[in-house]
Amino acid sequence: MLTEDQRGSIDVVLVSPRNPLNIGAAARAMANFGFSHLAVVAPYAPHWREARSAVGAPELLATAAETATLAEAVSACTLVAGTGTLAHRKPEQPVVLLPDLAPFVQRELARCGRVALVFGPEKHGLTREDLSFCNVLIEIPTDARQPSMNLGQAVAVCLYELAARLEPRAFKAGSPKSEHKPESSAEEPSPATVCADLELLAGLVEEAMLASDYSPASMRDANRHDLRLLLRRLAPARKDTRRMLGLFRRIVRKLKRVPKSD
C-alpha cells in the first residue's frame, strides 16, 4: 500500500531538461499520480522559469528543488533508479523492466529508504557519469523500432506503474496483503546508506588510493566512476558505511603523514 507518506519518499529527478512543455508535462503526471517531490538538475534557466510560471502549472513546480549536480539531487536517497534507452551501451548496473520495478521500491520504502527516479535530458539521455549514481536502471519495454520515449510520457508511464502496482485497489474485496517478505530477517531492519555517504566514502577511498601511490592522479576520474559502481554493488548498510568511513579517514590521515618514497 502506497500511503501519502510513502509517495513523499519518492523523488522525481529531471537532469537538464530543455523543453518547458516537457517539464510541465512531467509535473502534471506527478500531480496526476499523487507525487510531489520534484528535483531539477542544472536546468536551462529561461526554460525552467517559463515552465514554473506557466498558467495552470502544478503547485509542485513552485516547491521543486533545483540543484547544480545530480549528486546533490540524490544525496538523501538510498535507491537511485535511472531511466533511458539501453540500446547503445552495455549497462554497468542491473536492469529492471518497469513492470517489475514495484517490488524493489516497496522493499526500499519498507526499510525507510528514499527512492529517486532519474530522467535524462531529451536529446541524449543520462550520461555515463549520471548513471554511476544509479543502483539500478529502469527499462521501459518499448518497441525496438521506436524505443525512445518523450520525456513527459516516460515520467507518466513510470509513475502510473508505481501508483498502480503499489497502491491498494479500493474496489477489490480482498485487497492483496503486502507481498514483501524478507528472505532473511537479519537483512530487513538494516537501513541503507544514503547517496551522500556513499559519495563521501568514494572520495576517501580515492584519496587513500592517491596517498598510497596505489593509483596515479590521472586515474582519478576513472577510479571515482568505478568506486561509485562498486559501492552500489556492495550496497553497504548504514552502520557498515559509518565503520568504513571511520577506517578510511584514519588511513588517509596516516598516509598523508608518511613522507613520499620518491
Closest CA to 112 of 10, 222, 252, 16: 10
Q: How far is the CB of 32 from a second copy (least distance, A)?
A: 5
- 3-state SS assignment for residue 41: strand
Nearer to a second copy, 100 or 226 (CB): 100
- 3-state SS assignment for residue 196: helix
Nearer to a second copy, 21 or 219 (CB): 21
Q: How far is the CB of 31 from a second copy (least distance, A)?
A: 4
Nearer to a second copy, 171 or 257 (CB): 171
Q: How far is the CB of 43 from a second copy (least distance, A)?
A: 20
Nearer to a second copy, 33 or 248 (CB): 33
Q: How far is the CB of 29 from a second copy (least distance, A)?
A: 6
The C-alpha torsion from 165 through 168 and 171 to 174, rounded to 10°, is 110
Nearer to a second copy, 98 or 201 (CB): 98
Q: How far is the CB of 146 from a second copy (least distance, A)?
A: 4
Q: What is the DSSP letter of 67?
A: E
Residue 158 C-alpha cell reads as: 513510470
Where do the DSSP E strands lie in the chain? 10-15, 37-41, 65-67, 79-83, 95-97, 115-119, 136-139
Q: How far is the CB of 33 from a second copy (least distance, A)?
A: 6
E strand or H helix that includes residue 90:
none
- 3-state SS assignment for residue 188: coil
Q: Answer for the pair 38, 64: CB distance below 8 angstroms, yes or no.
A: yes
Nearer to a second copy, 60 or 196 (CB): 60
- Distance between CA atoms of residues 204 and 208, nearest Å: 6
Q: What is the residue type of 29?
A: A
Q: How far is the CB of 241 from a second copy (least distance, A)?
A: 31
End-to-end CA distance of the chain: 61
Nearer to a second copy, 143 or 262 (CB): 143
Dihedrals phi, psi of 30, to nearest 5 degrees: -60, -45
**Residues near a second copy, by CB under 8 A:** 21, 25, 28-29, 31-34, 58, 97-100, 140-143, 145-150, 152-153, 156-157, 160-161, 163-165, 167, 169, 171
